[in-house]
Structure 1
């Protein structure tokens, strides 16, 4: 009979205002660095830290672009979250980045418990009518190739679900960075390649452009060597690499630039770089003159 069934009732995750659930989550490096910095600065007695993640929602994909810490305390029987601190930080973040909204929350560690469900319930109210994303960062990952970043949405459990009763449903999650973020990551990686691991000076525009051109030329050379070896039968072709090369060629379809057009684009970019460099040096000189005049007066 219905009254004696032992089935568990799982309600479907609530969809957003667009009528669709989120299909995946994309996390940017700035958010990851903020979370890891929060974890490294935690008190020794804290097993995990939590915070708010912000970003945007585009075509069913949640883009996590930034994060800030939220003060909280956990014991065996209760959890407390500093809501006033959360509101204050949210107000500051909104003023700094008006285009970013709350998309959910993060926590370190891989354990999901009753307290996680309560926090998820709170953030579901903050993101309503959209779904709240829970980002779990496993700081104990040591195996090569494992990222340790997972994303979840929640599904209420029971006919009359309570806030502390929910199931966390995993959704696809990937790390992604833009070209400016790539430049910053490359600079950070350079410190790991030096014996002293000292902070290296930031390259100028011309040095950055030269390094980018050399990197592109090196990649093209490696691709040419690989393609020639496959054609000659020296190595076995990789289907995945072939798909990547085909996608790259498709992106250039309809684009026919001769040597003169390429030179024109290059010199135009060079002129822009020279103008920015000139204006930066001019502003720096004006600031130094103003500082010295202020000291004289």
Structure 2
């Protein structure tokens, strides 16, 4: 049974992590496969009409384009979804993605399957052209709209839905780093990604520069060197009131505790990386 049509006035936001995962899956696809597909995860706020695509995972499949049929590894998809729900309980199935230039003939079957997985929500279909033939990553979002004669034959038509990119604070740091690396000359060899502590120092320096600009503006307004702007004043007031009141000693303790946690995470990640490298080398020695 087909679900009701998607609200075309809904706002759909997508995080860059989704595209990175799709591109990675496309680059790692089997040699005999021309595309990859999988499940889109995120949050669907039915009250405000806001859909946020935050994550995804690939689903093993076998497609028969001549007869318009596709076989999904449902046990694998169910297992991965259960593991993701344990790690991110706030995420739900919001649709599916596939790579290609146009909507495939198997989209109707996938829509029926993901209609059951999405529950009350209408599944969305994200189409990504990962070939980069036009030197651009083309992304299009579709929703299925019922069409046909009332009481008679009905079908589905996939209609385009506006899609906006959004990012959180963590993703913004990574995007700025990637942008910085992409601006390097093509002849210059790209350096390795800086350690976490170096990035923290760089971001702290940028924050200090921005605070200096704000203080300079405030001092100029108080000294009557600059005409005050009500919009800037309200923005500064909202930013200051959003920060909880805390004395310097408590802030120092909180900062040091978070810093120790970060150092512990870095140490554990380096240990895991070293163990994996040793295990890989030992395995190659045994094969020889």
Q: Same fold (TM over 0.5)?
A: yes
SS at match of 1:177: coil
Residues 188 and 100 (structure 1 numbering): CA distance in 2 closer, same or farther, change over 3 Å?
same
In the alignment, which residue of structure 1 is the partner of 2:225?
none
CA distance in 2, matches of 1:249, 1:110: 48
Contact kept in structure 2, 1:21 and 1:60, CA below 8 Å: no
* Alpha carbons 2:97, 2:127 under 8 Å: kept: yes
Q: Out of 51, 57, 71, which is 2:38 matched to?
A: 51
Q: Aligned with 2:167: secondary structure?
A: coil
- C-alpha distance in 2 between matches for 1:209 and 1:267: 23
The two structures have a TM-score, normalised by structure 2, of 0.69
Distance in structure 1 (CA, Å) of the matches to 2:231 and 2:50: 22
CA contact (8 A) 2:130 2:137 kept: no
| C-alpha distance in 1 between matches for 2:247 and 2:139 | 40
Q: Would you say 1:252 and 2:239 are equivalent positions? A: no
Structure 2 residue 56 is matched with structure 1 residue 67:
yes
| Cα RMSD for the two superposed structures | 3.8
Deviates more, 1:181-190 or 1:85-94: 181-190
SS in 2 for 1:31: helix
Larger displacement relative to structure 2 (39-48 or 97-106): 39-48
Which residue does 2:167 correspond to in 1? Answer: 177
Alignment partner, residue 89 of structure 1: 80
**Aligned pair 1:25/2:12, yes or no?**
yes
Match of 1:202 in 2: 195
Tell me the distance in 2 between the aligned counterparts of 1:267 and 1:110.
Answer: 58
Gaps of 5+ in 2: 218-228, 272-288
Which of 199-208 and 149-158 deviates more? 199-208
Give 1:269 deviation, angstroms: 5.2
Structure 1: runs of 5 or more not aligned: 1-11, 224-244, 289-297
2:258 is matched with 276
Secondary structure of 2:178's aligned partner: helix
